Amino acid sequence: MVIAVVGSWVFMVDGRLYPTWRIQLRCPSRARRMPAACPPQYAASMIARSLFIARIVSACPLACAALACASDSTLGYYRMPALHGDSVVFVAEGDLWRVDAKGGLAARITTHAGEERDPSISPDGTTLAFTASYEGPREVYTMPIDGGLPVRRTWDAARVGTTGWTPSGILLYATKAGTDLPSTRLWRHDLKTDARGPIPLAQCAEAAFFGESSIVFTRLAFQGSHTDRYTGGTAQQLWSFTLPIPDAQTLEAKPLTADYAGTSRRPLAWHDRVAFISDRSGRMNLWSMNRDATDLKQHTHHRDFDIANASIDGDRVVYQLGPDLWIHDLLRATDSKIDIHLASDFDQMRERWISDPAAQVSSAAISPDGDRVVFTIRGRVFVVPAKQGRTVDADRRSGIRYRSADFMPDGAKIAVISDESGELEIATLPANGVGAAERKTNDGQTVRWLAVASPDGTRIAHTDKRLRVWVLELATGVNTLVEENTVEQPTGLAWSHDSKWLAYSSPAANMNQVVRLWPITGGAPIAASTDRYDSYKPQWSVDGKFLYFLSDRTFESSTSSPWGPRAPEPFFAETGRIYQLALKADARSPFQPQDELHPSVKAAEKEKATEESATQTTEKAGVQVAPASKVVIDIDGLSARIEQLPIKATNFGDGPLLVTESAIFWSSFDAITPTDDDDDSAKAGTVLALAIGSEKPEPKEIATGVRIAGMSADRKHLLLQKPPAKAGESPASWHIVDAKPEKAELDKPLDMSAIALAITPREEWREMMVDAWRLLRDYFYDRNMHGADWAAVRTKYGPWIDRVRSREELSDVFQEMTGELSALHHFVYGGDLRDGTDKIAIATLGADLVRDEAAGGWRVSAIPASDPDEPTMRSPLTEPTVRVEVGDVIRAIDGTPTLSVAHPSMLLRNKAQRQTLLSVMAKGGSVARDVIARPLSARADATLRYRSWEIARRARVETASANDIGYLHLRSMVNSDFSDFARDFYPVFNRKALIIDVRNNRGGNIDSWILSRLMRKAWMYWSQPVGRSPSWNMQYAFRGHMVVLCDADTASDGEAFSDGFRRLGLGMIIGTRTWGGEIWLSSSNTLADGGIATAGENGVFDASGAWLIEGHGVEPDIVVDNLPYATFQGEDAQLEAAIAHLQERIKAEPSEVPPVPAAPRKAVK
């Protein structure tokens, strides 16, 4: 079907429109006008639609000239190119495209909503390999380069990455699947026979083949942090290796680029030389050398940007440089940009409606009288009625990010923090959405946090990233600095009801928070509490007589003593109580029991109310309300007038404290909060209230499973948030309830269905670009940005946004920009990435399977070992009711023959932990039996294999040392590693030596606790009437020799642990240099769509002033490398070196327990 259009036309295939140009021109070789029309056969062929446009453009020079005049609107952002002959395949808009190597109008090859990436063209030019997430996990697919249905080739769910080919057409891909210690290996897959297997190297991320047996490979995968000129222990290096040949000795792989500490990667076979990418010149450029690492030559000389993702065909190399693709001729030494245009509707750039905006709420505040709630959603501000009414979009413009929206006291305006000017400024928006935003400050320098208006609406208090508290006077625009802290962020801003005082809390030098009061008349803040205890979240009483705050002063350990299994430490679970501070010296607490000298509070209040009623005047507009009570403070002895309210100690978490005229409200959270990040219910608590008065003061439960989000200014309504039970379920619900000390009903959540949020991606991307740049500036630990001209960096990368056509491409810009800081812990991830709808989870049988046609199924070639003492951590095939062994054959799964599919995982999709029927033939047997197994998820499979590796190391250590040496491996330094330490350390605490293995440790923040356990010393021993217990003081102190194992994949807090272990004199370090990332971070500088370009916030240095670890890594005392081929064969040279080292220490310095001396004889003879 052809549809004519003026000046152009389109044709339709499979219900989609594909445009070409109706080129009316006179070719120099022809006298007649020649319309470039579409032959009928092309309209019926998917092959032709991928080639047609490129052929037209290259057919005539004038056609190319016409294309060159095309609008910049057809330009794209081009990544990950692959070259073969005259064709370049690349990634744009998350799809694969094809264009002539000379440039022109590119044709789209793939159309799935998810991102296709990592394209590679087979040597014969007919097949395209790539990775995609068609069913959820990213896997390898192939398809005809001229179009066709993609075929799935892997079922790994294990970070499948770069693809390539051997000269004979064997598919190559990188994956972590099937490994024990997680590492990237390269696999070969014969598409003709479907046979596949790993190259016998324990570490191999990408490779160039010279023939079918000799390779140059990048040993390590990309380390994950985007940093320029990286020279840490995980810097990618090139190695050479000859694949095993039958009946010939296989030699170990050899390093080729060890002379340079930086990056050398992406090897390309160029005749008998190796072309590769390296930052030897300060920027990533194209280099080459002989295969013996001699005759090094630089081919490209880009100075402003790094090249990436190179691909070679013959003498030409195509690569990415910023948003463009370039092609370099190695023989002719020519370099040129490929002029590419996209025949696209740029679907990801059109205005888009957010399907579930309520799931993206970043802040919420209730109106002064409780009739509305203002939400900040994806940087936009919406006002939702409590019952009936109009939902308001306060500012419909895209490209502006608002933060922390809250109502002004009159309810007519909303105070916000806006980035419209390029910096974060205080502004107001009309609450009814009619009218323009009004900027109130023009002095933005850094990220601003809270914006809290005074009750009279004349001032706004706010804080910023530089640890400052400010008060803005709206009438004059004067912004007064209240405090500039030097420790941490002041928080908890709260105005007195007469608007004359600001209360807040800020850290003292000992890091305890102190409640401070600041008068609007100026002067230094007044300390209302001491730094003896942590005191925070102050609130004023309505009558202006008292200040309430939370404070952690109750230290009652749930552990009675350090004696017992694993030497339990004190645990202070519920430390917080509510305290009251009398502002005047003669103020009497409303909670104090009445006595004969003081009438009941209720009687006094009734008398006061009668007096006030007599003085009130009635006007036309209604009743004139008496002004807020004036706050008068007797400064002398203020902090000593503290009283504890009658509530039990609790865990306040991060919940607020709120006060009405008649009650106090707070949240109580579980003492031990679950650590599962996916469990949003862990973020909820119980809301409690205490009536203000002396008659039986007892807290009452208001609601459970909720959080307090705020209170209306009239003190009559609470805004509660009820989080979803689990991540991925419906978003949180919001509820407005009466602010009374009684049970609240949560049966009528706020109706947020009328929120309609449309974004213009290009404008949002521009805002996020500036926001990411600004957040990096404000969060980075070095105000001088490591010497980078940060304003120039914004100018340098800003124009790239005009080329961005998808969110993935925006992330690519962030990666390049943050790399300018040359710092680790700079990751780019998340955001509103387009994705497919299918989420089909992979499941496995917890074993290695090999196709065995002769046996009629898939043979079990290996089953990860498990610990008999850990019945929940074993392969489903080894369960007592299953009993499948190595050599057995899985012939059918749920009745489907396994030989009928490319891989058994096809039959296990979405079956993790579900009963699955297996038909199993025993090794050498003739009759199959049926068993029921419960397959593992891909994550559980990886955990099983990792645990098998740990068990194998432990067994090797104990066998080699006759149980003299213990072994402990820590995968990271997070909560779960407390458990792993307890599981594996205490059973061996009395050994003569100990290996602490932190290879592949991915970091966290518990290094100090692990080190404190290992630093314990035995200085006192006990005797007993019979026998001898290994009990001493300090309990469970390790008395023997210790050593730490580390490697290039030891990162972050794993490195801090390693360095601390040595600096504290605990022992030596064996292995290889570590990652080199020691600028710590919070990962809190998120963008409007939830994405992030993280920033290193806290640099690490020692007492001499030397910066530690960052950019270089921890150097071991004894360097031992686990070479790739030997390690693949099962060797562990680092572990063997540790065993040998400790055995020498045990022999030289035995650490036997001192014998019990003879008891004194005190009898009188």
For the chain, what is the radius of gyration of the CA atoms? 35
Residues 6+ apart with CB under 8 A from 482: 461, 468, 469, 470, 471, 502, 518, 525
- Domain contains 11: no
CATH of the domain at 704: 2.130.10.10
Q: Are 901 and 894 in contact (CB under 8 A)?
A: no
Asked if residue 294 and residue 275 are part of one domain, the reply reads: yes
Same domain for 525 and 459: yes
1068: confidence class by pLDDT, cuts 50, 70, 90: very high
Q: What is residue 366's predicted lDDT score, i.e. its pLDDT?
A: 98
Encode 672-740 in three state secondary structure.
CCCCCCCCHHHHCEEEEEEECCCCCCCCEEEEEEEEEEEECCCCCEEEEEECCCCCCCCCCEEEEEECC
Paired residues of 402 in beta bridges: 418
Q: What is the DSSP letter of 1020?
A: E
Report CA 318 to chain centroid distance, whole Å.
32
Q: At what angle do helices 1007-1015 and 1053-1063 cross, to 10 degrees?
A: 30
pLDDT value of residue 1045? 98
Residue 246 is predicted with a pLDDT of 84
Residue partners of 420: CB distance under 8 A and separation at least 6: 400, 427, 437, 439
Q: For residue 1016, which of 595, 581, 569, 713 has the smallest C-alpha distance?
A: 569
Taking only the tens place, the pLDDT of each residue in 1103-1125 is 999 999 999 999 999 999 999 99
**68 in helix, strand or coil?**
helix
Q: What confidence score (pLDDT) does residue 3 get?
A: 37
pTM, rounded to two decimals: 0.91
Say yes or no to pLDDT of 81 above 70: yes
Kindly state whether residues 337 and 381 are assigned to the same domain.
no
pLDDT of residue 163: 85
Whether 1051 and 905 share a structural domain: no
Residue 655 forms part of a structural domain: yes
Is the separation of the CB atoms in 428 and 472 below 8 Å?
Answer: no
Which residues form the domain of 876?
A: 843-937
In a domain, 750, yes or no: no
Question: Is residue 880 domain-shared with residue 1000, that is, in the same domain?
Answer: no
| 28 within domain boundaries | no
In a domain, 411, yes or no: yes
Looking at 129-143, 542-556, 599-613, 750-764, which range is the least confident one?
599-613
**1134, pLDDT greater than 80:** yes
532 and 425, same domain (yes or no): yes
Q: Tokens for 782?
A: 């070095």
Given a cut of 80, whether residue 140 has pLDDT beyond it is yes
Higher pLDDT among residues 510 and 5, named by residue: 510
Q: Which of 829, 857, 874 is the last residue of a domain?
A: 829
Q: Is residue 571 part of a domain?
A: yes
**Co-location of 273 and 386 in the same domain:** no
243 plus 367 within the same structural domain: no
What was the pLDDT predicted at 752? 94
Q: How much of the chain exceeds pLDDT 90, in percent?
A: 83
Q: What is the pLDDT of residue 13?
A: 44
Please report, for the domain that includes residue 994, its CATH number: 3.90.226.10
What pLDDT is attached to residue 57?
41
Are residues 479 and 465 part of one domain? yes
Binned at pLDDT 50, 70 and 90, residue 1011 comes out as: very high
Domain CATH code at residue 790: 3.30.750.44
Q: Are 846 and 910 in contact (CB under 8 A)?
A: no
Judge residue 677's burial from the number of C-beta atoms within 10 Å of its C-beta, 0-12 exposed, 13-18 middle, 19 or more buried.
exposed
Q: Is the pLDDT of residue 1019 over 90?
A: yes
Residue with tokens 């706010």: 462
Residue 1103 inside a domain? The answer is: no
SS (H, E, C) 937-989: EHHHHHHHHHHHHHHHHHHHHHHHHCCCEEEEECCCECHHHHHHHHHHHHHHC
pLDDT of 895 reads 96
Tens of pLDDT, residue by residue over 879-929, are 999 999 999 999 999 999 999 999 999 999 999 999 999 999 999 888 999
- Which H or E element spans position 766? helix 761-779
Structure tokens given for 914: 């579900």
CA distance 887 to 863: 10
- With contact defined as beta carbons under 8 Å apart, do 500 and 631 qualify? yes
From 738, 770, 799, the end of a domain falls on 738
Residue type, 1006: I
pLDDT, tens digit, 9 for 90 and up, residues 305-350: 999 999 999 999 999 999 999 999 999 999 999 999 999 999 999 9
Structural domains counted in the chain: 5
pLDDT tens digits, 641-691? 999 999 999 999 999 999 999 999 999 998 765 554 444 445 789 999 999
d(CA 166, CA 215) in angstroms, rounded, equals: 10
Q: Can you tell me the mean pLDDT for 138-149?
A: 96
Amino acid (1-letter code) at residue 112:
H
Q: Has residue 25 got a pLDDT over 70?
A: no
Of the given ranges (33-37, 527-531, 992-996, 1035-1039), which has the lowest mean pLDDT?
A: 33-37
Q: Are residues 334 and 368 in the same domain?
A: no
- Mean pLDDT (the chain) is 90
The H-or-E segment that residue 576 falls in is: strand 576-582
Condensed to tens digits (0 to 9), the pLDDT of residues 47-57 reads 343 434 444 44
Per-residue model confidence as pLDDT tens digits over 239-289? 999 999 888 889 999 999 999 999 999 999 999 999 999 999 999 999 999
Measured between alpha carbons, how far is 309 from 32 in angstroms, rounded to an integer? 44
What does residue 616 show for φ and ψ, rounded to 5 degrees?
-70, 145
Cis amide prior to 1034 (ω within 30 degrees)? yes
* Of residues 16 and 879, more confidently modeled: 879
pLDDT on residue 727: 63
Give whole-number Cα distances, 424 to 84, 381, 452, 1090, in Å: 49, 16, 15, 18
Strand order in the sheet with 307-313: 307-313, 316-321, 324-329, 334-337
Is the residue at 957 inside a domain? no
Q: What is the mean pLDDT of residues 784-801?
A: 97
Place 605 in a pLDDT band, splitting at 50, 70 and 90.
Answer: low
* Domain shared by 435 and 522, yes or no: yes
Confidence grade of residue 71 (pLDDT, cut at 50, 70, 90):
low
Instruction: Please report, rounded to a whole number, the percentage of residues in the chain having pLDDT higher than 70.
Output: 90
pLDDT of residue 594: 84
What CATH number has the domain bearing residue 920? 2.30.42.10
- H or E element in which residue 861 lies: strand 857-862
* Last-in-domain residue among 315, 346, 377: 346
Say yes or no: 410 and 493 in one domain.
Answer: yes
